[in-house]
Structure formats: structure tokens, C-alpha cells
């Protein structure tokens, strides 16, 4: 019955890749903005900023993304706030991504040698000037490989959005399989498409890590 799988099905899978990319970029860009704020709060000398940021990171990292999706999509609808599946998935993944990126970037900033901070103080730079002109540019170099590696994870995690009805690559595969019942063929193709999306990024991350000698820092 392999002939039941047609070019129409293949085209439908290929088109669904676009929505996987859209959700990934939405989560990563918005999560990156939130993660930058979380990073600044985590390294702040003010406890009223640092402590809530720490609690936020630990709370979100302790909750599975699937549960966050359920809370945003189904939980908010109980209170009359029914969100489209794309919006709900984007919000849940943004929250999840911000906690992890904030922690990754906080670690990279704190990994900068203490003499860098002291030299900036000798130049009478403010804390924000020290971060903007001295620390963050160097931390970016250190953070690129783990950041790109996490982007790969974000792309794969978009598959969880299928549970709330968002039609990305995994959901498209489920729809096709429900109509022709060829799970091995359909989900093998889905897996191949995920591999084609993620493998170049994985190789880029590994190459960048090697070029920047991050592993030897």
C-alpha cells in the first residue's frame, strides 16, 4: 500500500516545515529578548532583581515544556482567554526558552575573568558601560556554540506543539498518517526533515566551538 503516499502528501510535509521554522524563530527571538533581561537580573548586585530571576529560572526549568503548553493553551481558556495555537505555542516556548538562554548567558558573563571587571573600574566605567563595552562582547564569543546548540533543541521541541493542534512538521505527519496509515514511511520522512533542519546548525555549532577554542578556555 506504499502507493497511497503521494506527492501531495510530500508537499504538505514540506510546507509544514515553514511553520516549524516560524515557531522556532518566534520562540528563539522573543525568548532571547527575555533571556537577556533574565541574564541582567541574575548578575545584578540588587537582591530584589537577582532572587526573583533565580526563582523564575529554577521554576521554568523544573516544568516540562509540555505542561507549559497545556497551561497556556488549555489553562488560560478556562478563564476566557482562548488563544490561537500558534500564539499559545509561541508564548509557552518563549517562556521556556528565556529561562534557559538567560542561564546560558549568565554563565558566560560570569565566566569572564575578574581582572576584566577591575580594569573597567580603573577606567571609571559604570557597571552598564562595563557590561556593554567590555564584558558582553567577550561573553558573546563564549556563548555562541551553546546558544546555537540550544536553538537545535528548540527546533526539535516545536514537535510538542502538535498536542495543542498547531500544524507544524510533526502534526502534519500525524494528519497524513491518520489518512493513509503508513507510520513507518510518514514518520521516517518527518525525522529526515528534522535532521535536515538541525544537522547544519549542529555542525555550525561544533565548527564554531573548534574555531573559538571554547573548549580550552
pLDDT digits (tens, 9 = 90+) for 117-156: 878 778 777 778 888 888 888 888 888 888 988 999 999 9
Q: Which CATH superfamily is domain 2-216 in?
A: MetI-like (1.10.3720.10)
Rounded Cα distance between 175 and 71, Å, is: 24
Please give the pLDDT value at position 212.
65
Q: What is the chain's Cα-based Rg?
A: 21
The answer, yes or no, to whether residue 53 has pLDDT greater than 60, is yes
Helices (H), 111-182: 114-122, 127-130, 136-157, 169-180
First to last CA, the chain: 56
- pLDDT digit string, tens, across residues 168-203: 999 999 999 888 888 899 999 999 999 999 999 888
For CA atoms 80, 81, 84, 88, the dihedral sign is negative
The answer, yes or no, to whether residue 208 has pLDDT greater than 80, is no
pLDDT-derived band at 34, boundaries 50, 70, 90? very high
Instruction: Give the mean pLDDT of the chain.
Output: 88
The answer, yes or no, to whether residue 215 has pLDDT greater than 70, is no
Please give the pLDDT value at position 131.
84
Given a contact cutoff of 8 angstroms between Cβ atoms, the answer to whether 92 and 71 are in contact is yes
pLDDT-derived band at 217, boundaries 50, 70, 90? very low
Q: What is the mean pLDDT of residues 63-79?
A: 91
Amino acid at each position: 500500500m506504499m502507493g497511497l503516499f503521494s506527492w501531495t502528501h510530500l508537499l504538505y510535509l514540506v510546507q509544514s516545515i515553514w511553520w516549524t521554522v516560524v515557531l522556532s524563530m518566534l520562540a528563539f527571538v522573543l525568548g532571547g529578548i527575555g533571556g537577556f533581561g533574565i541574564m541582567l537580573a541574575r548578575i545584578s548586585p540588587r537582591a530584589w532583581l537577582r532572587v526573583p530571576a533565580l526563582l523564575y529560572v529554577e521554576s521554568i526549568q523544573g516544568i516540562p515544556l509540555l505542561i507549559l503548553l497545556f497551561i497556556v493553551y488549555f489553562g488560560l481558556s478556562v478563564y476566557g482567554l482562548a488563544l490561537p495555537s500558534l500564539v499559545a505555542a509561541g508564548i509557552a516556548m518563549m517562556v521556556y526558552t528565556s529561562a534557559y538562554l538567560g542561564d546560558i548567558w549568565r554563565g558566560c558573563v560570569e565566566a569572564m575573568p575578574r581582572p576584566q571587571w577591575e580594569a573597567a573600574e580603573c577606567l571609571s566605567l559604570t557597571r552598564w558601560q562595563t557590561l556593554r563595552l567590555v564584558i558582553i562582547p567577550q561573553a558573546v564569543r563564549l556563548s555562541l556554540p551553546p546558544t546555537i546548540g540550544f536553538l537545535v533543541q528548540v527546533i526539535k521541541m516545536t514537535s510538542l506543539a502538535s498536542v495543542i493542534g498547531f500544524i507544524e512538521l510533526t502534526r502534519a505527519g500525524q494528519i497524513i498518517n491518520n489518512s493513509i496509515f503508513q507510520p513507518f514511511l510518514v514518520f521516517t520522512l518527518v525525522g529526515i526533515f528534522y535532521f535536515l533542519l538541525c544537522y547544519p546548525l549542529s555542525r555550525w555549532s561544533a565548527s564554531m566551538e573548534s574555531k573559538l577554542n571554547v573548549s580550552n578556555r
